[in-house]
Structure 1
Amino acid sequence: MPRLLQKLLTTALLFIGFATQAYEIEDLGDGLHRFIDDRHRSIFLITSEGAIVTDPLNKKAATWLNEQIKTRYNVPVKYVIYSHNHSDHIYGAEVFKSPHTTFVAHKLAAQDIKNTQMKTVTPSLTFDNELLLTLGDSTVKLNYHGPNDGRGSVSILFEKQKTLFVVDWIVIGRMPWQKLWSYDIQGMINSTQAVLKYDFNTFVGGHADMGNKADVARYLSYLEQLYSQVTKAALAGQSLEQIKQNIKLDEFSDLKQYQAWLPLNIEGVYKRLMEESGMGWRSDL
């Protein structure tokens, strides 16, 4: 084989190797683990009576995780909890389907899964505001805080481990996602204020970094400042382009994607104000 062709082939194989999905499991203590699939994260609990798995993410990731639970821990999966209705977090649940597994979601997420014929397992256990699940010596508390991201998005608190798991509407170490397409901004603020009253030390999100309660409080501060400053500017009659130029929020410049996504975050808030809050057709503005 010519040397150049061999080099190209080797490079291609290396690229394929790097592109191959690499899954990770991180031990958080007291039977709790974080599962990482590229940009997505979920969390699972191992007890003497079985496992509680949150978002399966996708079929390939769920298949790998299911095998790991069998071989590493040798316990059945008793519960699979959906954080909300978005397919990039809850597909692949069929991998865990068995007579001893209960699939759990908020009633609005379950409704959306059914109505839109999502290719995942329809939840058999739903709830309105709060649900407590106990397995072994651990209790998991699920709460719905109103609209925030998607439909039926809940907080998941592992009480013994003092660990809070929230997907999409709290992100640590990184800016909120671009134009905030599926977000209810004020709802996210309300929901984050609510979970800050919980007793937790560790925060795990569905994306980005792990953190603690202080990190969640800082994230809330960013959202509150972003929302209030865009609202104030819009009420003053500034255009979207003027608002993008005038709002800086430099105290959060260490967050990943700050430079690229701050203008997009501003645009997302502005559009929610114009459309969902009706500011775009108010006669007094």
Structure 2
Amino acid sequence: MHIRFFSASLLTLFLIVLSAPALSYEIEPLEGGLYRFIDDRHRSVFLITEDGALVTDPMNTAAATWLKKQIKMRFNVPVKYVVYSHNHSDHIYGAEVFNHPDTVFVAHQLAAQDIHNTRANTVAPDITFKNEMLLKLGANTVHLTYHGPNDGRGSISMLFEQQKLLFVVDWIVIGRMPWQKLWSYDIQGMINSTQEIMGYDFTTFVGGHADIGSKQDVARYLNYLNQLYTQVTQSALAGKSLAEIQTSVDLSEFDDFANYDAWLPLNIEGVYERLMEESGMGWRPDISQPK
């Protein structure tokens, strides 16, 4: 009886181990001491110098633990900075792994405010800024900039000046559609922010999701956002219903983007809802409302 129970328990444990998702992490070398860290759908970058490392979004405890071990094993340098891209937990949790008296945590002031107010389970930033900040590490300069509302709170761009590499999370993705119904996105803010970073001197783009790309890829993504927002707005002004807009909007020149067929109707719905609610078009007397 005990032997049978013991065997059944072992079998159950074996099946649980088999069904558990395997942790799959990757580190890809970029240039000038920069590396991209991949955890499933999420990406971050880190910089290695003789004076130490700068780590961006830790993502979660398991991923951060693995990354910390890799930095120690491969490069044997201390982590000097951890920089948060914005306030969303799927990017900034796990920071406790890097918590050390000699490590400085950096975020925009709005992200820090939200982390405090919502009691987010991550390390509170030591340093915050309002508009921009320059971080120096060895011969490297990292330019952090807040561009206004776009996604989440306190979302910033990170320009690694010597490498001419720009890192942005969530409000720009390369080779893929924006996320489904654009939850938490400020669409016009995303357009404004992306237009602003197009004035930066960068050749390589790394996003918090999807592919690595070029400045030209970012320009094409901006073109998609502009056309999406313009077409949906014009259709709403004409009094069309959401269903009518979803069948009339033509963005087929971007049909090579991943998830185009599945997410285009959702992208349209997300823009439409924000126009109706946040822009107040749903109660404007000068617009013929759909029935």
TM-score by length of 1: 0.95
Q: Counterpart of 2:262 in structure 1: which amino acid?
A: A
Q: Which residue of 1 aligns with 2:173?
A: 171
How many angstroms apart in 2 are the aligned matches of 1:23 and 1:12? 23
How many angstroms apart in 1 are the aligned matches of 2:60 and 2:179? 20
Change (3 A) 1:250 1:14: farther
- Could you give the per-residue CA deviations for residues 200-255 of structure 1, whole angstroms, max 9, x where no partner exists? 01000000101000000000000000000000000000000000010120000000
How many angstroms apart in 2 are the aligned matches of 1:54 and 1:207? 14
Moved over 3 A (4+): 11-17
How many angstroms apart in 2 are the aligned matches of 1:14 and 1:122? 35
1:48 to partner: Cα distance? 0.5
How many angstroms apart in 2 are the aligned matches of 1:81 and 1:196? 22
Q: Which residue of 2 aligns with 1:139?
A: 141
Matched, 1:47 2:45: no
How many angstroms apart in 1 are the aligned matches of 2:15 and 2:238? 55
Q: Which residue of 2 aligns with 1:117?
A: 119
Written as runs of structure 1 = structure 2, the 5 A alignment for 1:56-95 is 56-95=58-97
Q: Alignment identity in percent?
A: 71
Q: Which residue of 1 aligns with 2:195?
A: 193
- Could you give the per-residue CA deviations for residues 12-66 of structure 1, whole angstroms, max 9, x where no partner exists? 699548x301100000011000000000000000000000000000000000000
How many angstroms apart in 1 are the aligned matches of 2:213 and 2:141? 21
How many angstroms apart in 1 are the aligned matches of 2:198 and 2:78? 33
Q: Counterpart of 1:170 in structure 2: which amino acid?
A: I
1:99 to partner: Cα distance? 1.0
TM-score by length of 2: 0.93
1:173 to partner: Cα distance? 0.5
How many angstroms apart in 2 are the aligned matches of 1:158 and 1:97? 23
CA RMSD of aligned residues (A): 1.5
Matched, 1:35 2:74: no
Q: Which residue of 2 aligns with 1:274?
A: 276
- Could you give the per-residue CA deviations for residues 139-165 of structure 1, whole angstroms, max 9, x where no partner exists? 000000000000000000000011000
- Could you give the per-residue CA deviations for residues 51-108 of structure 1, whole angstroms, max 9, x where no partner exists? 0000000000000000111111000000000000000000000000111100000000
Q: Which residue of 2 aligns with 1:128?
A: 130
Written as runs of structure 1 = structure 2, the 5 A alignment for 1:6-45 is 16=19, 19-45=21-47
Q: Which residue of 2 aligns with 1:4?
A: none
Q: Counterpart of 1:79 in structure 2: which amino acid?
A: Y
Structure 1 residues not aligned, in runs of 5+:
1-7
Aligned length: 276
SS in 1 for 2:240: coil
Q: Counterpart of 1:47 in structure 2: which amino acid?
A: T
